[in-house]
Structure 1
Amino acid sequence: MRLAMIHAVTGLHSIQSKIDQLADQMANVDTVGYKRKDPSFSDVLNSRLHGLQAVQFPGRETPPGMSLGHGAHLVNNQTVWTQGSVKQTDVPTDLMIAGGGVFELAADDTGARRFTRGGSFQLAPLEGGMRRLVTSEGLPLLDVNGNPIDLPENTEMRVDEEGNVYARGEDGAEVFVATLRYVHVLNPQQLERVGANVYRIAEVGGERPDDVVLNTDLNDNPFGEIRQGALEMANVDLGWTMSELMTALRSYQLNARALDSVDAMSGIVNNIRS
């Protein structure tokens, strides 16, 4: 009964983790650039009770005995980096990446590099009439040289497929401003979420290794392309997520009933002993 209780409790913890993850995906189904996660589970401990040689009958396909598990636990929660659907907005500051890269944002207070797939940018006013390309949280988008991208006043922004940014004046003349830094991600699972649809490189041994990503100029290395006036939506399949959520809730209910049954049997045994 002790093992049965352990199985039920560890199962409840694991399924709760999956339910939380599925709920997070459903809440972000309309979040621009959101990438869903795929949790995986493993046995906590698996042992086997071997049967007697006398019961090893000819033709038996499975070995005699009984497998004993001790529940399951969450071992991995990988981010799925498949391309999300395209939403055409025709807003000049809306940008999306067609490819496996990310936009780089200004570093945080600790100097850690930050990235995003969400391309819903804005032009924030600066002193002197200049305007800076930033996220909805005010984080500046960087160019290939690691500098913010500023546009003169009374100009419109145009971005080509290579990420080159131009400022178009009222007379129709264009001036080159900067080239977006397209960061090619070599190891996507080394990016950790820090909130607001922003990622940073995870620490390894107290450091954040830069070789997880590769700074790229799309004019020289076309790993992907930039599309202006469009947004990449979340790669969440709502129908599949709902189905998985229902299955997880059924599993949670089954483990809860198992725990109640073990508790009831323990009560009966204690009453008999007394």
Structure 2
Amino acid sequence: MRHSLNLLMLLILGSGLLRAQSVHAEQPTDSDEQVQIVQLDHLSFEKHPCIEVTRANTNPTLWRNFLRQLKTSPATQRGRYTVFHVKQEYPTKRAPITASGTTTRSYSPGKPISGNGAMVKVDSGDLIIWDHLNSSAPAKHPFRIGHAASGVMDFFTSEPPQPGKPRCYDLYMKVCPKEMRGKLVVTLLKRSNVKCSSFTINMVANGGIYGIDYRWPYNNNRPIELAPGPYSFLFRQIDPVKGRFDFKINPGVITQLNFKASSQNAVELVSQTFEPIDEKAK
């Protein structure tokens, strides 16, 4: 009798445990879909699977030479700067590392600090300089760094560094593995008299340079594989302001942009959808 009662209790406890495990497994979780924001000193940015940002050790010769030049030049000695030493896992000169912001500069070892515009391109081992001086609303103006093999990152700050006291960081760009990439599918519904045979995907926020050009596919929806991050889409034969749209690529997700052009200067984004990449369909 006691053996039967013990067995019954075990069965009840076991079924309760299984039921609890089942309920726990069925509870929805969106932790994988939530954006993880990293706060590093005055910088805030989304965590990226292929781009790492850490505080720099400024003792090496590269940093000492740069900081000496920065502080002795009348044009830069009192500026507010965030500086990134960019390095690639597999450096290549076939595609540059690009950056954009309100004011952007660069530094290559053995050369003077250059640039004073919205965009810059550098090679692995160079420094990218975010000049905060001309930003009247720094929290609204991100600084973007990207490379085709690694992806794109946006940096924000509401409190730029103090004049003459630059903040220095190392930025390491790994090659994005295939399973971490996303895809872009673009469709365009247009009138017959609208000319649009190509488009550009930009890794920087301004203009159409430093981007990747694509001829418009005949099937109108050929998927393009991209590393994660925020990008810009530009219709090459349409007004550069009205024909520019922002989109984001997430790991393992298809981003579909559906456009409609009623005239050469009137294009609208009708819809934007996201769906997981079907591994079996690859």
With normalisation by structure 1, the TM-score equals 0.24
Q: Name the structure, 1 or 2, with higher relative contact order (CA <8 Å, separation 6+).
A: 1
| Bigger share in helix | 1
Larger Rg: 1
